Chains A and B, each alone.
Chain A
Amino acid sequence: MILDEVKEAYVRDLLAKGSRADGRQLLQYRKVKVTKGAYPNAEGSALAEIGDTKVAAGVKFDAAIPFPDRPQEGVFMVNSEFPILAHPAFEPGPPNENSIELARVVDRGIRSAEVIDLKSLVLEEGKVLGIFVDLYVLDHSGNLIDCAALAAMAALADAKVPKYDAETKKLLRDQPVGALPIAHKIVTCSFEKIGSKILADGTDEEEIASDGRYTIATADSKTICATQKSGAAGFTRQEIVKMMDIALEKGEELRKLI
């Protein structure tokens, strides 16, 4: 608690002078790196890094039973884990609200942009392809949502769909039939509001000082497909429009890394 107050005062003092602890401009991202196929036992995988933040994503397919209200659609699920090794403040236990929010914002971005045509995933009557994306936060130095979205999207782009054996009703994981068709590459850009200043790609220390966060998922250079406002701070209409301009531009750059 006391340490958090010291960190917050430090971040705010620096921002008052228009600077950040790592020397970045307010709207500048840290170095972003995406490694596809990092965990080859999964059908698709990736490790995304933004500065010191690391999030791993694994994609597994299953021959699943469709949801009763969507019998002609595949199943798509995103889950996230915050293992305690990733940050001193992480505690063991069931997913907390931050973990659920992270997974749901990433899920919403991918689902709302119709990245995967779920109707194309029917294997046979009563059996559909289930796509399970698991996000593992490995090192939390801030901006987990953007890093997780990169990892999830790269893992989906890396994924190879296994052959379905109609007799045994099982997937033959050693016999891939091709890549998973991807309609868009979704990326998110997150902003932190500290006092009246808005900065991009916050570190964990900046997140402690932050009054609010605004995340924007883009499908291409013109289309926004999901947003999430989080934290107590309010954002004006002008601020939202400005962040959207930046997210649409920066998104194009991040998309190239996937």
Chain B
Amino acid sequence: MAVSEEKQMIVNGKRLDGRGFNDLRPISIKAGVLKRANGSALIEWGRNKVLAGIFGPREVVPRHMTNPKRAIIQARYIMAPFSGQEEHGRSGPNRRSMEISKVAKHVFENVVMTNMFPKTMINVDMEVLQSDGGTRVAAITAASVALADAGIPMKDLVCGVSTGRINGQLVVDLDKTEDNYGESDMPLILSPRTGEVLLHQIDGKLTKEEIAQAMDMSFEASKKIHELQVAALKGRYERVLAETENGNNGGGN
């Protein structure tokens, strides 16, 4: 949502937090952080903190939603009322979160091999605990790791970033200030294996040429995010292994 008043966000070729135009904020991902969920991940992306948890494949509720040919995916993206820097938010879903939940669901419908689990549902729950711009791409990136952590067969480990224009300059990974005062914002989720775009929402004016360039920048940045996802999953099993060797009998967490 572009606010029209001018704010200088690029000084001496650097952004307000010192990043270059193609730099991501620091990202850390940890898989297997919850005990009860079948799969989970916590992503800390700049000041964003998003927790993703997976249940399923399990029995469909409500039952009439059952699909005899494939698993259905129920995705839920929610911002905690305390997650923003503004006043206390409202609990539960709102129109924005329902739209994001819908497009996130479509991302996972693309990669999860739902035809292997007919008549079941897979719940993908994404809870934004602290927000600072780019929460939808952070949430989906985390949920993708959580799905892998749950052992759910997928065609790809998806990830993405939001690229946009601030002070006339295209930059990768907008934070909240850049999103609020920038001209346009383009969250994108990529399937790195196929190169297909699975989520793409532009908000703000961009030319076709700018969009092509922003896609290239997003694709490049996504490579780094994908490496962190893979490392998070490897790290999860290294932890299990270490615990087993220490006689803790690993498993659970």
Tell me the complex Cα distance, A139–B106, Å.
Answer: 26
Contact B195 A236 (CB under 8 A): yes
Contact B196 A234 (CB under 8 A): yes
Contact A112 B86 (CB under 8 A): no
Contact B205 A235 (CB under 8 A): no
- The size bracket of the interface on A is 35 or more
Interface: B194 (CB within 8 A):
yes
Contact A234 B197 (CB under 8 A): yes
Contact A224 B200 (CB under 8 A): no
Residues of A within 8 Å of B148, CB to CB, are none
Tell me the complex Cα distance, A101–B205, Å.
Answer: 20
Contact B197 A100 (CB under 8 A): no
Interface: A57 (CB within 8 A):
no
Interface: A237 (CB within 8 A):
yes
Contact A223 B205 (CB under 8 A): yes
Tell me the complex Cα distance, A101–B100, Å.
Answer: 9
Contact B205 A97 (CB under 8 A): no
Selected interface stretch from B31-39, B128-136, B171-179, B206-214: B206-214
Contact A229 B205 (CB under 8 A): no
| Least distance between B94 CB and chain A CB atoms (Å) | 9
Interface: A162 (CB within 8 A):
no
Tell me the complex Cα distance, A245–B209, Å.
Answer: 11
Contact A234 B207 (CB under 8 A): no
Contact B194 A234 (CB under 8 A): yes
Residues of A within 8 Å of B212, CB to CB, are 237, 241
Give A106-141 interface residues, CB cut-off 8 Å to B.
108, 111-114, 119
Contact A235 B106 (CB under 8 A): no
Interface: B95 (CB within 8 A):
yes
Residues of A within 8 Å of B219, CB to CB, are 237
Contact A229 B195 (CB under 8 A): no
Interface: B113 (CB within 8 A):
no
Interface: A82 (CB within 8 A):
no
Contact A224 B208 (CB under 8 A): yes
Tell me the complex Cα distance, A252–B199, Å.
Answer: 26
Residues of B within 8 Å of A100, CB to CB, are 95, 98-99, 102
Q: Which of A229, A236, A237, A245 contacts B201 (CB 8 A)?
A: A229
Contact B110 A229 (CB under 8 A): no
Interface: B116 (CB within 8 A):
no
Q: Which of B1, B197, B208, B211 contacts A229 (CB 8 A)?
A: B197
- Mark contacts of B63-107 with chain A using CB atoms, 8 A cut-off: 1 yes-contact digit, 0 otherwise: 000000000000000000000001100000001101101110010
Contact B4 A101 (CB under 8 A): no
Interface: B150 (CB within 8 A):
no
Interface centre among B87, B99, B186 (most CB of A within 10 A): B99
Interface: B222 (CB within 8 A):
no
Contact B197 A245 (CB under 8 A): no
Interface: B154 (CB within 8 A):
no
Interface: A226 (CB within 8 A):
yes
Residues of A within 8 Å of B159, CB to CB, are none
Interface: A214 (CB within 8 A):
yes
Residues of A within 8 Å of B40, CB to CB, are none
Contact A223 B197 (CB under 8 A): no
Give A81-107 interface residues, CB cut-off 8 Å to B.
97, 100-101, 103-104
Contact A225 B197 (CB under 8 A): no
Interface: B202 (CB within 8 A):
yes
- Pick 27 A–B contacts, CB within 8 A, sort by A: A97-B99, A97-B102, A100-B99, A101-B102, A112-B2, A112-B184, A219-B205, A222-B208, A223-B207, A224-B202, A224-B206, A225-B205, A228-B103, A228-B201, A229-B197, A229-B200, A230-B102, A230-B103, A233-B110, A234-B196, A235-B196, A236-B196, A237-B219, A240-B215, A244-B208, A244-B211, A245-B208
- Given A101-B99, A223-B205, A245-B208, 5 other A-B contacts at CB below 8 A? A222-B207, A224-B207, A229-B103, A229-B201, A231-B109
Give residues in A with beta carbon < 8 Å to B. Answer: 68-69, 97, 100-101, 103-104, 108, 111-114, 119, 212, 214, 219, 222-237, 240-241, 244-245, 248
